[in-house]
Amino acid sequence: MVVKCFQKLSIAFLSVMEGISMRSTAEEQIRTFDQQSAHWWEPNGPMVLLHRLNKLRVPLVVEGLIKVGKLDRKQRYTTDALKGLSILDVGCGGGIYSEALAKLQATVVGIDPAQHLIEVAKAHAEKQSDIRDHCQYRAESMEQHWESAVGKYDVVVLSETLEHVRDKSTLLKQVAAVLKPGGSVFISTWNRTTFAWLMAIVLLENITKRLPRGSHDYDQFIEPEETQGILEGYNCRTIECRPFYLKFWEDEWVWVPFRKFTYALHAVKE
């Protein structure tokens, strides 16, 4: 009761002070990120937190694939660790995660409904001679993509994407459909807790401005148990769920032992 009252009072205070809404539609979130497209690849620009997140999410994929026997341990630190694997990046934005995976020689397809961001991703990849032949982008949603890609991918990644989707069950059903048997899905997203709300929306969006204001809706955050349950319904068994946290005073993401804020999940299609 106390927590709920605090949350309502905080929303009211921020709304009065800044005229903000703590909820946003999917279309509004797409527009918010589209407006950031010109600054997407600035290392210390508005998307700095996504750039810094690669420190965790890229090794997560490599280590996860080693654990399930898809990669040899000898490949852990090689420059072509993901060679021969096909990866779909759902909600790829301007390509920060996609390019990092392609740098390890994976064949990557990035999809996102934000047209301006896809144009940014394409333009940036075209300048990278080592990845431009195996890193492609399409301005489309998963709903538009999945039927033509059933059983196509070794890996699907959804990083900071699930919290922007209202119908999570349908999205994860489509993810399971495009995976090959034995394929892996890697998800990183915000937990649905008061701590996550305080961090993402109150602190990062409205106080420190480290995230675009209006880019998140607390009601769309999802608990790890719920994510795991949905995936299990589509024959994807969770292998690992690791919580992580933003040291916001340093703009650094770190693995932690508590699930109060964000988590990364690895599941395999059986």
* pLDDT tens column, 213-226: 888 999 999 999 99
Answer yes or no: is pLDDT of 21 > 60.
no
The mean per-residue pLDDT over the stretch 257-264 comes to 96
- Whole-angstrom distance, CA of residue 215 vs CA of residue 47: 12
**What is the reported pLDDT for 31?**
53
Structure pTM? 0.87
**What is the reported pLDDT for 17?**
38
* pLDDT tens column, 98-157: 999 999 999 999 999 999 999 999 999 999 999 999 999 999 999 999 999 999 999 999
Is 91 annotated for ligand binding? yes
Answer yes or no: is pLDDT of 36 > 80.
no
**What is the reported pLDDT for 43?**
82
How would DSSP label each residue in the chain?
-HHHHHHHHHHHHHHHHH---S---HHHHHHHHHHTGGGTT-TTSTTHHHHHHHHHHHHHHHHHHHHTTSS-GGGTT-TTTTTT-EEEEET-TTSHHHHHHHTTT-EEEEE-S-HHHHHHHHHHHHT-TTTTTSEEEE---HHHHGGGGTT-EEEEEEES-GGG-S-HHHHHHHHHHHEEEEEEEEEEEE-SSHHHHIIIIIIIIIIS--S-TTS--GGG---HHHHHHHHHHTTEEEEEEEEEEEETTTTEEEE-S--SSEEEEEEEE-
**What is the reported pLDDT for 20?**
39
**What is the reported pLDDT for 13?**
40
Is 57 annotated for ligand binding? yes
Residue 4: count of CB within 10 angstroms of its CB: 9
pLDDT-derived band at 18 (thresholds 50, 70, 90) equals very low
Is 154 annotated for ligand binding? no
The mean per-residue pLDDT over the stretch 53-71 comes to 97
Q: What is the mean pLDDT of the chain?
A: 89
Cβ-count burial 149-180 (b if 16+ within 10 Å, e if not): beebbbbbbbbbbbbbbeebeebbbbbbbbbe
Is 138 annotated for ligand binding? no
* pLDDT tens column, 75-88: 999 999 999 999 99
Higher-confidence position of 13 and 237: 237
Is 134 annotated for ligand binding? no
**What is the reported pLDDT for 2?**
43
Percent residues over pLDDT 70 in the chain: 86
Residue ranges of the domains in the chain?
47-269
CATH number for the domain whose boundaries are 47-269: 3.40.50.150
pLDDT-derived band at 47 (thresholds 50, 70, 90) equals confident
Is 15 annotated for ligand binding? no
Is 164 annotated for ligand binding? yes
Answer yes or no: is pLDDT of 8 > 60.
no
